[in-house]
Structure 1
């Protein structure tokens, strides 16, 4: 009898924890939807299409302001193609947060702990469907 009461108490605790996790999941889904809408609005206003994805980065500098004179034209060519900054062979489809640099492919993003463009610590990433 005591064991049954104890188990019922544990079940109630687990139900409360389950509800808390479900609320957290719903909040995270809402945040993803909001971020996707923001990305869609940016793409529609051609901020991303014109190659200005780094212009609104939180790090305060764009790709055109970095690098030497020799590597500058090469870097601009890579940026136009949106090539992964890690492997250099696949297209960049992953947006890193909080800096918002579009600089990694899906395969490479899992191994990143910081942005390869600005060095800011990666807190999250979003796949951008271009």
Structure 2
């Protein structure tokens, strides 16, 4: 009986040890599978975050390049605005001098020369395109007309007052509508690059 009891205890002990080892093995396999699943999931998330970081870096680089180009463009526009402002101031000053000169010539007259002789002399003078600011025959006749109360009319429509200064020839001979419509100066036939609207006070 004692031997049988001992054998039974030994078999139970061996069976329990075997079951414990199997349970331990299953637990380890489950733990390993869980760790592998977690690691795979974390790896996917890390890969996705790295791709997002790469996209953000590319976008940031593109934005930096855009900001640099906008800064350069801003500098160019600022320089151009300053240049245009200086040109407008110079043109305004030159126009004031020309208008004052014309007004003085109209008030004082042209001396002992007749109107026709003075107009012929103006025709022989240099064109205004070389910045000599001489008047041609029509400008002189317009000045005479303004002296006589006729006013300075548009050379194209002959209705509106001339208020558009053509560049680069600097002839004040068109109204606003004709200045935008025509591409050449009606006096010297030079191509028009721009127009400056003059407010006659």
TM-score by length of 1: 0.74
Q: Aligned pair 1:17/2:87, yes or no?
A: no
Post-superposition, which runs of at least 4 consecutive aligned residues in structure 1 deviate over 3 A? Answer: 48-52, 76-80
Match of 1:58 in 2: 129
Consecutive unaligned residues in structure 2, runs of 5 or more:
1-56, 107-118
Q: Alignment length, in residue pairs?
A: 120
Equivalent of 2:165 in 95, 106, 114: 95
Aligned-partner SS, 1:103: strand
Q: Aligned pair 1:26/2:77, yes or no?
A: no
Between structures 1 and 2, the one with greater helix share:
2
Sort the Cα spacing of 1:48 and 1:107 in 2 relative to 1 into closer, same or farther, 3 A. farther
Consecutive unaligned residues in structure 1, runs of 5 or more:
65-72
CA RMSD of aligned residues (A): 3.2
Alignment of 1:70-85 (within 5 A): 77=145, 81-85=151-155
TM-score by length of 2: 0.50
Sort the Cα spacing of 1:83 and 1:110 in 2 relative to 1 into closer, same or farther, 3 A. same
Task: Decide which structure has the larger Cα Rg and report it.
Answer: 2
